[in-house]
Chain A
């Protein structure tokens, strides 16, 4: 993936509010996982329109953090999720 790549959820995957347990879960075909706080912030910005750079920029502005560092973290996370079939880009 490059900074211009636009990530989206693979078919059958979506973020879901698990109200009974006070958390968000990533639902997929006969599997689910619970993203940590950082991953959840990233996944909430995956909308099929924002690029990796756009996601990093939004997070950098929100958390007042260095954009290059955040961009590297976002890329690593989304790449991992891509190999697991959760994200397409």
Chain B
């Protein structure tokens, strides 16, 4: 059966970023500036995405504002007919630069914060003065009349500040707040013991969200999902592999999700040689975990097979070394106990981070060889 076309494209424009968040969703092997796709190639990718059926593009990174051609990229995406969403840390955003993006047709901004106040935010983001810059950015975004989503990545070291994060979203005039639990891949997996929240913390946070949703209905929408390590069922990662979304990496790899390169043995096509259409409909990498045929026991025949889609392939790879296994976040996985073990380890672990960084050992070359 021919798959449905994708709904959205995640465009990871760059891995460059002034922040050093220890849970960064970028791969641990980062792409250097010299390997990034140029303006014209991204413009072509946006046109291909729209023609394929994508309705929205998430302009992400790294920090997408690190791309000096960002206004041209927004204009190209807007011209292709895509709804344009900028996902930014805000630290490089000021009124003149935002005015350029608005003129180019930007639709929406998602601004991240690392904590509710400067001391915690600057420590977690590894960037002195970052939190204050974010507050300024939020004011600039609202002054321009753009809708704002505040994205608060939460974990053990800031989850107790959730009420203050909600107040911050209201103060900044955000229409949406994403309370996004850290997902433990790559950098975050390396920092897992310092980040995993306790069950008691999670339950308190869930109650805070429920109360805030009632109190601020019609004013603030709060997105919140229980994190894998405390869930009985896995998340339907990306709505199923190769079913709803695709991502393009800074160097041009076409991926079913931004973390998919953590899975060895899959040959992801590159925009330099392959159209998004061909990647979506004809590449073995996109077909590999699509649908239910690939599923092992206990997913195979499970009544939730087409609800959870087996959970997350990258998590199965990261925790079990086998991307084709049932996500251990599912309590029907024989390896589900690994998550409880990680929670037990985290309960007695310290608070120190291994920050994300570029170094000679983790910048890769992804060029044509």
Pairing of A with B: yes
* Cβ of B353 under 8 Å from chain A: no
Are B221 and A27 in contact, CB atoms less than 8 angstroms apart? no
Q: How many A-B residue pairs have CB under 8 A?
A: 49
1/0 per residue, CB under 8 A from B, across A22-40: the answer is 0001011110100000000
Residues of B within 8 A of A29 (CB): 85, 107-108, 147, 149, 175-176
Residues of B in contact, count (CB < 8 Å): 21
Q: For chain A, which range describes its interface: under 10, 10 to 19, 20 to 34, or 35 or more residues?
A: 10 to 19
Are B53 and A20 in contact, CB atoms less than 8 angstroms apart? yes
Residues of A within 8 A of B126 (CB): none
Residue of A nearest to B142 (CB): A11
* Cβ of B96 under 8 Å from chain A: no
Residues of B within 8 A of A85 (CB): 175, 218, 221
Residues of A within 8 A of B107 (CB): 12, 14, 27, 29
Q: Nearest Cβ in chain B — how far from A10, in angstroms?
A: 7
Q: Nearest Cβ in chain A — how far from B145, in angstroms?
A: 6
The answer, among A11, A20, A28, for a CB contact under 8 Å with B146, is: A11
Residues of B within 8 A of A27 (CB): 55-56, 83, 107
Query: Which residues of chain B (337-359) have a CB below 8 Å from chain A?
Result: none
The answer, among A17, A20, A25, A30, for a CB contact under 8 Å with B85, is: A30
Residue of B nearest to A20 (CB): B53
The answer, among B51, B108, B145, for a CB contact under 8 Å with A30, is: B108
* Cβ of A21 under 8 Å from chain B: yes
Residue of A nearest to B107 (CB): A12
Residues of A within 8 A of B176 (CB): 29-30
* Cβ of B5 under 8 Å from chain A: yes
Which A residues are closer than 8 A to B by beta carbons? Answer: 10-12, 14, 16-18, 20-21, 25, 27-30, 32, 83, 85
